[in-house]
Amino acid sequence: MLQSTRILLIIGGGIAAYKSLDLIRRLQERGAQVRCILTAAAQHFVTPLAVGALAGERAYTDLFDPQSEFDVGHIRLARDSDLIVVAPATADLLAKLAGGHADDLATAVLLATDQPILVAPAMNPQMWAAKATQRNVAQLMADGARIVGPNAGEMAERGEAGIGRMAEPLEIVAAVEAIMRRTGPLTGKRMLVTSGPTHEPIDPVRFIANRSSGKQGHAIAAAAAAAGADVVLVSGPVNLPDPPGLSVVKIETARQMLEAVDQALPVDVAVFAAAVADWRAQRPSETKVKKQPGRTPTLALTENPDILSTIAHRSAGRPRLVIGFAAETDHVIANAKAKLAKKGCDWIVANDVSPGTGIMGGDANTIHLISAAGVESWPPQSKDDVARALVERIATALEDTKR
Ligand code: C5P
């Protein structure tokens, strides 16, 4: 609940601005008081009248508006709120915020505030991936801003898809709620979790996949968020709701997962719980492969990038703690020990996924935690309990490495 929380919503100039109208409502439903600022560009997409009507108070637009300066003033707008949300945050707005500009009401307020800032970026995938944008995002995070999204998916431009869609209003609300309540052993820490399977297309209707449900990875991400961490969950296709209070980036293929992981860095801790497909079709067909009597097609495969190993072997920007998973059907501990060395990670969470165990897709898990210190075998417990215990261990390990 956001009872009596004063939120200042800054609406930037992007097509996703229409979703900000819904965001106002969703925040109000939870008891928040919402005040809004529209940038000049935002007014091409939504009107101050519509925003003001929903907010129940005029929308602010102008730094040099004598009436509003007399009435509230940009310094008071900045201070009289518990949290500032920028949604949609365009590439330009992110750049101005990172650079400390203050040439309009939105940027002046953002510079003048001492309250937390949550930004929900929305832009074309190329603009999001641009080095300048990524530099600005890294700067903003280093300055203490929180980021929600962007998600992968269809863009407003026809036929364009990729990472750049603004997080959905309810995801933004969850991020707001998490900021307003969060304090725990991982407060102030950034964590990345991969979860679920990947789908590797063979043709437009067929794909290579595996039986991962994403339950353990999602539980870890949820437990970390509940412990106060700022969590990015990069998830393959799963039948699970998005856990509250964290940002979820949805991808399909291993290569998309690596790209999303790269964009989520830097983090303090990275947990690679996803069951990434080891191979993908070398040349996916653009049209459906037709059945032809007497002719069975052959599928040429090529290796996918190993995301865990790639990140764990980085010399610059490696997370302080890199945790991999090992799903094995035989010689669980021996195989997991070998994996720890090969992948270059700090811990391996190993489990036996033989068909009889019910672990794959089930709600319980029996794990062995393997690190340089040795092997610890945990009793069988629910995946939620495994997640909570693992998060506690992560918090302790971060404390220990600090000393
Ligand atoms: O090699 P194997 O798939 O058994 O290793 C499992 C661990 O490596 C998991 O943590 C998984 O998330 C990660 N992995 C990865 N990218 C791959 C394959 C595995 O990140 N392509």
Ligand 1 centroid–CA 39 distance in Å is 44
Task: Output the average pLDDT for the chain.
Answer: 92
Q: Are 221 and 193 in contact (CB under 8 A)?
A: yes
In this predicted model, what pLDDT tens digit does every residue of 143-157 receive, in sequence order?
989 999 999 887 777
What pLDDT, on the 0 to 100 scale, is given for residue 182?
A: 62
Ligand 1 atom 13 nearest Cα: 308
Q: What are phi and psi for residue 392, nearest 5 degrees?
A: -60, -45
Ligand 1 centroid–CA 328 distance in Å is 11
Distance from C-alpha of 38 to C-alpha of 299, rounded to nearest angstrom: 53
402, pLDDT greater than 70: no
What pLDDT, on the 0 to 100 scale, is given for residue 67?
A: 66
Ligand 1 atom 5 nearest Cα: 326
**Can you name the CATH fold of 184-403?**
Rossmann fold (3.40.50)
Of 303, 325, 340, the one to substitute when testing ligand 1's pocket (max ligand atoms within 8 A of C-beta) is 325
Closest CA to 368 of 343, 342, 332: 332
State the CATH architecture for 1-181: 3-Layer(aba) Sandwich (3.40)
What pLDDT, on the 0 to 100 scale, is given for residue 169?
A: 97
In this predicted model, what pLDDT tens digit does every residue of 282-311 receive, in sequence order?
999 999 999 999 999 999 999 999 999 999
Cβ neighbours of residue 126 under 8 Å, at least 6 residues apart? 162
What pLDDT, on the 0 to 100 scale, is given for residue 124?
A: 93
Question: Is 184-403 the same fold as 1-181?
Answer: yes
Q: Where are the domains of the chain?
A: 1-181, 184-403
